[in-house]
Amino acid sequence: MELTKPIDKIPDEDIKEIIKETKSNKRDYYYYYRKLIREFNLICFQVTIILLLLLLYINLYNSNVYDFIIYFCFSLAIAVMFIATFMLIIKYNIISGKISRKIRFSSMLSFSNKFLYLSEENTVKYSTFIFIIAHVIISIMAFIYVKKYIKGAKKTNNALLKSFILFCIWGIYNIYVIDVIKLYNKILKTTKTETAIATISITITYSGLLYYFETIKNEKTKLIN
């Protein structure tokens, strides 16, 4: 309800309705705000935003970016998305459980119920499939296009070391500040062994990608010489 006349001439019932509507809008705003903050705690969402911001910066503002930043953003996105794909497949039964449905797919379930008339089971199944495909596409596209950005990057000394330090800072932030291990244990019911394997796998994949990216940069240097 909107104010179309002086407030002293509005009936008390209408004023109560306006206050109620305003409070409702605020609750909706804070709900989506909190949801966005909660999503940023998930590392897949983090790396997607990091990579997207880098690409926007390069393509819209300045293409002359340091090579170790390219290494960090692309290696992180590829490594996390690649390992996360396996986790989504392995943990499908947990993700599709009744409790997880209400936590992770509440918005999707509401939309599906209103417009698509799908059951909860099918909604979760299709949503998980879309998530898996999205993870695969992001990692493959990043791997394909990173060569282009490495060739245009500003060369620095010790790029591998700098990139690995950034990775360690990112890891420490997620483990000790956000407590991402506890978060994923709650969502996916990961065991200590699974968490350790996932962490080691991401680190090894990230390190391997750094080495590969460095060989691409060295090939560029040889061509110039």
Q: Name the most confidently modeled range: 15-19, 191-195, 216-220.
A: 191-195
Query: Is pLDDT larger for residue 23 or for residue 43?
Result: 43
Q: Are 220 and 151 in contact (CB under 8 A)?
A: yes
Distance of alpha carbon 175 from alpha carbon 10, whole angstroms: 54
Q: What is the pLDDT of residue 212?
A: 93
In this structure, are residues 83 and 202 in contact, taking their beta carbons and an 8 Å threshold? yes
- pLDDT of 14: 47
When pLDDT is cut at 50, 70 and 90, the band that residue 221 belongs to is: low
105: Cα separation from own chain's centroid: 16
Residues in contact with 196: Cβ distance below 8 Å, sequence separation at least 6, in sequence order: none
pLDDT digits (tens, 9 = 90+) for 138-168: 899 999 989 889 988 888 889 999 999 999 9
CB within 8 Å of 83: residues ≥ 6 apart: 198, 201, 202, 205
Backbone angles phi, psi at 127, to 5 degrees: -65, -45
How far apart CA 111 and CA 28 sit, in angstroms, is 16
Closest to 87 (Cα-Cα) out of 204, 179, 194, 206: 194
The rounded mean pLDDT for the chain is: 76
Q: What is the pLDDT of residue 114?
A: 62
- Looking at residue 78, its pLDDT comes to 95
Q: Give the pTM.
A: 0.74
Summarize pLDDT for 53-107 with one digit per residue, the tens: 999 999 898 888 999 999 999 999 999 999 988 888 888 777 665 445 454 555 5
- Torsion-angle region of residue 117: left (phi > 0), alpha (psi -120 to 50) or beta? left
| Residue 183 or 25, more confident | 183
pLDDT of residue 27: 46
* Least confident range of 66-70, 202-206, 213-217: 213-217
**Where along the chain do its domains lie?**
9-40, 42-220
